Structure 1
Amino acid sequence: MIRLAVLGPAGTFSDVAARQYLKRHQLNYSLSYYNTIEQVAVAVAQTDQLALLPLENTLDGYVQNTLAILAKGQLRINGAVMVPVRFSLAANVPELSKIKRLYVQFKTKGQCTKIIQQLSQAELLTTESNMLSFAKLEDSTAGDAAIIPQFHLPELNPKKYLLVSDVTDQSDNFTRFIVVGKKIEMTTIGVTNHFRYTCYVTPKCDYAGLLYDILGHFAKAKLNLISLISRPTKKKMGQYSFYIEVSGVGEQLPKLHQVLQQLGKYYTVLDLGVYPATDLTESN
């Protein structure tokens, strides 16, 4: 049976996203849980299995760990799923001012800044997953608190914990996850169907107007760039690669291929795959 590697343990937003992706596509994969995003990537890069990685959040932007993993060129994007993300706070204290330590996942911090600013007296302790924050809370002593997924709130005893039901900075908060593997699964995209395409473009040398030239290829083909992020190549100071996402409809795919061929003459292009944009509609 095909395995899908996921940031665990069970009960994380990654776990929820994975189950919704499998349900939407009617796939019978088993889930394997790992403690960090990096461990998820290593596990799938060494096998022919698939992995689900968080890529982008409404409030906190792109996940730098995942962008770094994609830049290595070992994995390709096969699909995506987007899920709503809401957080609550639970504390082993009688009132918020008594919180001494606050456990929060590294990416959750940027989505709950308002409540964190209110707890300036608390020491902020970063965890690798929201479920690890939850586990720290369950093993807590007086003064401990954690920001946890809102859907886990009913699991806590309100007589033991001080509970704040929603501490997310805003209501329309989503995280986009991508499904990756060593190979690109070929997906048929009709001429009227919307798609997402992702790549890294790395210049072979630096010159004035470099970025203008790269973007001009897409503009002339009337392809919509929805994301452009510069990332260091880690080979030389001041040398960068450009992470690019493109949206379009199926009839534009031939133009996209022509653009990539043209870019390949002057730059190093790392093709990360194309997938249906329908994957990015909200999952229920």
Structure 2
Amino acid sequence: MTLRLAVLGPAGTFSDIAAQQYLRQQQLDWQLTYYNSIDQVAASVQAETEYALLPLENTLDGYVQNTLAILSYAELQVVGEALVPVRFSLAANAADLASIKRIYVQFKTKGQCGRILAQLPQAERLTTESNMLSFNKLQTAAHGDAAIIPQFHLAELPDTFLKLADVTDTTENYTRFIVVKKQAAALQQVQPWQQDFRALCYITPQTDRAGLLSEILQEFAQRHLNLISIMSRPTRRELGHYRFFIEIGGQAGQSPVLADALAQLAQRHHVKYLGSFSR
């Protein structure tokens, strides 16, 4: 049976590029299945596909909040990652920027192209679920329509269009994707790695008092585990109550140390281990 990988579509998105890159690097012969939103991608791995690729983090716009929310409640395990460079162009059926009446832009792209959008105060912003949907809007663009699109699609548009080759806010812009499967990661089964690795988890405190977060972080610090990031997320049960999304960077041979830290924390808090992957 051919395994399937759910991807935010249509074909040609950065998610599609990341998925194909991951399959090449891992030498996997999986079938790509495209969906119209991140929520649909995540839902598919619960019912239709074996794996899914989700955007996790961008250099300019930070963590993808929708993905963090999905990881907090879905029974998924992270098994890999892919990193792709991200560059954007602006294309418009218009003579100049002042003539643009509306612009299509993907929901995360807005935070990566803020400078050019600030130059278009007159333009109505229409948010799309994927960059390819923004690009497709240009196929039937009325006069005054514009879109921010992946740079590699710019040459496909008519020469009569206004084209700005690079409207990304910085030259160092990357998006990191994770590959997940339908299976919660067992807390007591941290995969043994013989190379550097990353691990993800959610920790939900069962009490609220001064110094609590410091105590949680010390469990990692005293074991010389590097905390890459920590994000507070609402528990959705009560206003002012939060859980913490934590990404840990480990070195070869530190898997047992991480397992011990998580086991200690699980005695006092709710720990949801999300899995790990090599770097």
TM-score scaled by length of structure 1:
0.94
Look up the match of 1:189: 193
Q: Deviations over 1:171-199 (max 9, x none)?
A: 11000000001135996621xx1000000
Q: State the alpha-carbon separation in 2 of the partners of residues 152 and 253 from structure 1.
A: 42
Contact in 1 for aligned 2:192/2:256 (Cα 8 Å): no
Look up the match of 1:146: 147
Contact in 2 for aligned 1:73/1:270 (Cα 8 Å): no
Look up the match of 2:229: 227
Look up the match of 1:199: 201
Aligned residue for 2:44, secondary structure, equals helix
Structure 2 residue runs of 5 or longer lacking an equivalent are none
Aligned residue for 1:244, secondary structure, equals strand
Aligned residue for 1:250, secondary structure, equals coil
Contact in 1 for aligned 2:192/2:253 (Cα 8 Å): no
Q: State the alpha-carbon separation in 2 of the partners of residues 91 and 260 from structure 1.
A: 51
Look up the match of 1:25: 26
Deviation at 1:73, TM superposition (A): 3.7
Q: State the alpha-carbon separation in 1 of the partners of residues 155 and 82 from structure 2.
A: 25
Q: Deviations over 1:45-77 (max 9, x none)?
A: 225600000000000000000000000041110
Deviation at 1:245, TM superposition (A): 0.3
Matched residue type, 2:60: L
Contact in 1 for aligned 2:193/2:254 (Cα 8 Å): no
Q: State the alpha-carbon separation in 2 of the partners of residues 148 and 76 from structure 1.
A: 31
Does residue 1:120 correspond to 2:121, yes or no?
A: yes
Does residue 1:87 correspond to 2:88, yes or no?
A: yes
Deviation at 1:138, TM superposition (A): 1.2
Contact in 2 for aligned 1:53/1:177 (Cα 8 Å): yes
Same amino acid, percent of matched pairs:
58
Look up the match of 1:58: 59
Q: State the alpha-carbon separation in 1 of the partners of residues 260 and 190 from structure 2.
A: 19
Aligned residue for 1:235, secondary structure, equals coil
Pick aligned residue for 2:274 from 272, 275, 279: 272
Structure 1 residues 188 and 251: CA distance shift in structure 2, 3 A: closer
When the two chains are superposed, the root-mean-square deviation of aligned CA atoms in Å is 1.3
Q: Deviations over 1:186-229 (max 9, x none)?
A: 96621xx1000000000112111110110010111111101100
Contact in 1 for aligned 2:83/2:177 (Cα 8 Å): yes
Does residue 1:5 correspond to 2:9, yes or no?
A: no
Q: State the alpha-carbon separation in 2 of the partners of residues 269 and 97 from structure 1.
A: 52
Aligned residue for 2:33, secondary structure, equals strand
Q: What is the aligned length?
A: 274
Deviation at 1:139, TM superposition (A): 1.4
Contact in 1 for aligned 2:193/2:255 (Cα 8 Å): no
Deviation at 1:151, TM superposition (A): 0.5
Structure 1 residues 213 and 66: CA distance shift in structure 2, 3 A: same
Look up the match of 1:110: 111
Deviation at 1:88, TM superposition (A): 0.2
Aligned residue for 2:267, secondary structure, equals helix
Aligned residue for 1:38, secondary structure, equals helix
Contact in 1 for aligned 2:4/2:33 (Cα 8 Å): yes
Look up the match of 1:173: 173
Aligned residue for 2:254, secondary structure, equals helix
Q: State the alpha-carbon separation in 2 of the partners of residues 48 and 63 from structure 1.
A: 22
